[in-house]
Structures are given as C-alpha cells and as structure tokens.
Amino acid sequence: MDITIAPRLLKGRITPPPSKSQAHRALIAAALAGGGSRIENLADSQDIQATSRCLAALCAPGSGLPLLDCGESGSTLRFLIPLSLVLRGGGRFTGRGRLMERPQEPYFRLFEEKHVCYSLEAGVLTVRGALPSGCYTLPGNVSSQFITGLLYALPLLEGDSDILLTTPLESGGYVDMALDVLERFGVRAVPNGSCAFHVPGGQTYRPHDMAIESDYSQAAFWYAARGLGSQVELQGLNPFSVQGDRCIVEDSASLCGPGEVELDVSQCPDLVPPLAVQAALRPGQTTRIVGAARLRMKESDRLSAVTQVLNALGSRVEEHPDSLTILGVDTLAGGVAVDSHNDHRIAMMAAVATTRAAAPVTIRGAESVRKSYPNFWEDYQRLGGMFL
Ligand SMILES: O=C(O)C1=C[C@@H](OP(=O)(O)O)[C@@H](O)[C@H](O)C1
Ligand SMILES: C=C(OP(=O)(O)O)C(=O)O
C-alpha cells in the first residue's frame, strides 16, 4: 500500500497504543498460568496476533511438535523456542520477511552444549529435546530476547539454573520488563550484578490480572514530531514505567541543544528511527547515534534504511558499521517516494519527516505499521495529517 502525504505540522492529543513488549510477556505468562488471568488493553497488532496464535498451538492438546508461525515477530520466536522444549519437547517455527534470517546463534550454541537437536531448513527451525536445568552462558549483546526466553522457561524446570552473560547486556530494559512481568505472575529470577541471573527451579506461574501500559517506543514518533514543531500532546503514558524506551523523553530533549550531541542507543535500539528524524532537522547540529550495530538485524537493516530514506528526503546522514552521523539541515525537500523496507518503524519515521518536507512524500509499503501500531495512519490523520 502506498500513501502520499501532504507536508504539514500535526496538532492534537494522542494516546499511544499498548506496549507490544509488555503484551507479549503478559500473554505468555497468562498462558503458563493456565487460565484465570485477565489481560486488558491489548493491541491487535500482527506481532501480538503471532504470539496469541503460537501460544494456542503450543498449549493445544496433542502429541508431536507443534507448528508455530511467528509472522515477523522476533520476540515471539525467541521467547517461545525454549518454552516449546519445556512444554512440548520442541517445536517447528516458521516466519515471514527477514525473521528466519535474524540471529539465533546464541540458542544454537547452547543447544549443542545441552544436547538439544535443532535444524534450520527451508525457513523452518525445528528444535527437539529436553531443556536441562543448569548453567546457560551466552552473549548479552546479540539480542536481549534470548535472555527473556530463558527467564520464562527455566523456572519451570525441576532444578535451579543460572544465566551468565559473556558480554555486557544491551537492550537491558527489556529484561527488566520480563522480570517485572514474571514477578507479577509469581515467578522469581534474581539478578546477580548486571551479567548474571539465578533462576530457582520448580516454580509455577500464578494467574494475574493486568492492563497493558501505553508504549513509549511508539510514543517516540510523536515525541519526534513534537521536537520538529508539531503540537502533539501525549496522554496515558506511565511516567514510572519499567519500559526502557521511556528514555525518549530525555533523549528527545537532548537533541534540542546546539553543537555536537552523541546518543548511545545500545539500551534502546527501537528509538533510532524517531531520534534520527529529529536530529536530521537540527540545523548546525551534528548528532552521532552510536552503539547501534544490532539495528542491522531487525525487520530491515535499519541503519541502512534510515540513511536511505532520510537522505532521499533531503537529509545529510552518514552510515557507519555501528553508528550514524547526522548533520542537521533546516528543511527537507520531499517530493519523492520512499520505501518502508517492510519495516514499521521506517514507515512511521518517514511520516514524521514529511511534517517538515517542502513537497508531498509517498510512502511505499505503508501497511508495515500493522506489525506494531495498526492504527498509526488513523492517528496521523486525527492529528491533522492529510493524505493525497
Ligand atoms: O524484548 C523485547 O520486547 C524487544 C527487545 C528488543 O530487541 P533486542 O533485544 O534484540 O535489541 C527490541 O528491539 C524489540 O523491538 C523488542
Ligand atoms: C525489532 C522489533 O521487534 P521484534 O524483534 O519482536 O521483531 C521491533 O518492534 O522493532
């Protein structure tokens, strides 16, 4: 789907959608608690549909390895791989887009060590075996989703386990969010410093009612629009939220200073597109976005996609292996078509950039927002955005 947008600033009040990350975690914990939990304020995004669909397949009665279609959701895939071993002796996982090419090596190394069989053939990952309790050693900087996956599965084993990280934890806020949801469902995992977790075995998930919070990762696009002159008022966000992307509030403000700004995004990778678009329109300012290597392994190669899209619109972005240098300009020419690279966050970034373009912009693959923010285009129009 192509959408052509007239350049104009936005104005109005918006409640960002429910947090996708918290919703994945709550749904999985509720399924493990075996019913009796009430989860309110769930978004009907494709990623949340993927987790619901896979949980239904995983918990359905029957023998044999369930087939789990994870769509394009890295979280669903990496959270459910260890659980499939514990609950069903394994599973067969499929996905779309780039999903099955995204890294799984930390799990594969552990499976070799623990004698769990795995194969990845023609886009189907099959895992089979028993997950033993014990010591799980893995890197902390490939994806935090491996650590969340283990934190959900290991408490169900008979014996105690330890998770040890060989490199510093990145995207750490997502692990904190997992610990927070686990605790609400009566499951305990104890951090030991920043690179280790002790997970007592023999635990059971207890039913719990919760309402999903508004999503700071999505609110970030509206913060960016605001930083670029739109009058968007945000409501419904929890100021005490455990969401790591809550740092958008300070990061967005720090982009308003003159001179040189450096932002380390290793703990908040999803904020790169909204931060980059804001930095692109800071004339006289140079912004370095560092610690961003993992951005190459998301729905698109996001460092490359951000650079291509913003430069096509008239920005000055330089791409490096694990960072971006953004030389702020005072206006974007627009007047072109840009591709979302089938990446929801790139489509939303392009929409925010258009608010400050001189001529209309066409966004190709605009439907990609359904992955995480199905009502994004409705919200954009409610704020006065005009489609041509
Ligand atoms: O656990 C989660 O909910 C997520 C973790 C992050 O991934 P990485 O840990 O791979 O950076 C983030 O980018 C993703 O959108 C959601
Ligand atoms: C990378 C993302 O999600 P996931 O890893 O779950 O696919 C995202 O939402 O930007």
Residues designated as active site: 270
**What DSSP string describes 158-196?**
SS-EEEEESS--SSHHHHHHHHHHHHHTT---EE-TTSE
Q: Are residues 125 and 249 in the same domain?
A: no
Mean pLDDT of the chain: 97
CA of 145 to the centre of ligand 1 (A): 6
User: 50 vs 54, 57, 141, 218, CA distance in Å?
Assistant: 6, 11, 25, 19
Query: Is 207 domain-assigned?
Result: no
Query: Is 247 domain-assigned?
Result: yes
CA of 270 to the centre of ligand 2 (A): 8
Q: Are residues 306 and 339 in the same domain?
A: yes
Q: Are residues 169 and 231 in the same domain?
A: no
Q: Are residues 237 and 188 in the same domain?
A: no
* Closest C-alpha to ligand 2, atom 9: 372
- Tell me, using a 6 A CB cutoff, whether residue 104 lines ligand 2: no
Q: Residues 77-101: what's their mean pLDDT?
A: 97
What is the length of the chain? 388
Residues placed in the known binding site for 3-phosphoshikimate: 20-21, 25, 143-145, 171, 270, 298
Q: Are residues 343 and 359 in the same domain?
A: yes
Looking at residue 256, its pLDDT comes to: 82
326 has pLDDT over 80: yes
Q: Are residues 241 and 381 in the same domain?
A: yes
Of 149, 168, 201, at which residue does a domain stop?
A: 201
Tens-digit pLDDT profile for residues 232-268: 999 999 999 999 999 999 999 999 877 899 999 999 9
Q: What is the CATH number of the domain that holds 226?
A: 3.65.10.10
Looking at residue 319, its pLDDT comes to: 98
Pairing of strands 231-234, 11-14: parallel
Which atom of ligand 2 lies closest to the CA of 77?
6
Residues placed in the known binding site for phosphoenolpyruvate: 20, 74, 102, 145, 302, 345, 371
Question: Which residues are registered as beta bridge partners of 14?
Answer: 234
Of 139, 172, 201, at which residue does a domain stop?
A: 201
Measured from CB, residues less than 6 Å from any atom of ligand 1 are: 21, 75, 143-145, 148, 171, 174, 269-270, 294
CA of 294 to the centre of ligand 2 (A): 11
Say if residues 110 and 132 touch (Cβ distance below 8 Å).
no
Ligand 2 pocket test target in 69, 270, 272 with most atoms within 8 Å of CB = 270
* Closest C-alpha to ligand 2, atom 2: 298
286 has pLDDT over 90: yes
Which atom of ligand 2 lies closest to the CA of 99?
7
Looking at residue 61, its pLDDT comes to: 87
Say if residues 277 and 287 touch (Cβ distance below 8 Å).
no
CA of 62 to the centre of ligand 2 (A): 30
Q: Residues 279-305: what's their mean pLDDT?
A: 97
Q: Are residues 108 and 238 in the same domain?
A: no
Q: Are residues 187 and 238 in the same domain?
A: no
Residues placed in the known binding site: 20-21, 25, 74, 102, 143-145, 171, 270, 298, 302, 345, 371
The model carries a pTM of 0.98
Query: Is 208 domain-assigned?
Result: no
Of 201, 229, 257, at which residue does a domain stop?
A: 201
Nearest CA among 275, 380, 271, 298 for reference residue 363:
380
- Tell me, using a 6 A CB cutoff, whether residue 245 lines ligand 2: no
The total number of structural domains that make up the chain: 2
* More confident: 354 or 259: 354
- Ligand number with the minimum distance to the CA of 95: 2
Structure token digits, residue 200: 């007592």
Domain limits at 53?
A: 20-201
Looking at residue 62, its pLDDT comes to: 84
Q: Are residues 220 and 357 in the same domain?
A: yes
Q: Are residues 233 and 312 in the same domain?
A: yes
Q: Residues 162-180: what's their mean pLDDT?
A: 98
* Closest C-alpha to ligand 1, atom 3: 21
CA of 195 to the centre of ligand 2 (A): 23
CA of 72 to the centre of ligand 2 (A): 8
Q: Are residues 131 and 183 in the same domain?
A: yes
Q: Where are the alpha helices (DSSP H) in the chain?
A: 20-32, 46-59, 74-88, 105-114, 145-153, 172-184, 216-227, 248-254, 272-280, 302-313, 344-354, 376-382
Query: Is 314 domain-assigned?
Result: yes
Q: Are residues 33 and 177 in the same domain?
A: yes
- Residue 61 gets the label, from left (phi > 0), alpha (psi -120 to 50) or beta, of beta
Query: Is 206 domain-assigned?
Result: no
Tens-digit pLDDT profile for residues 306-325: 999 999 999 999 999 999 99
Tens-digit pLDDT profile for residues 29-62: 999 999 899 999 998 999 999 999 999 999 998 8
Query: Is 41 domain-assigned?
Result: yes
Q: Is 193 exposed, middle or buried (0-12, 13-18, 19+ CB in 10 A)?
A: exposed
Tens-digit pLDDT profile for residues 145-168: 999 999 999 999 999 999 999 999
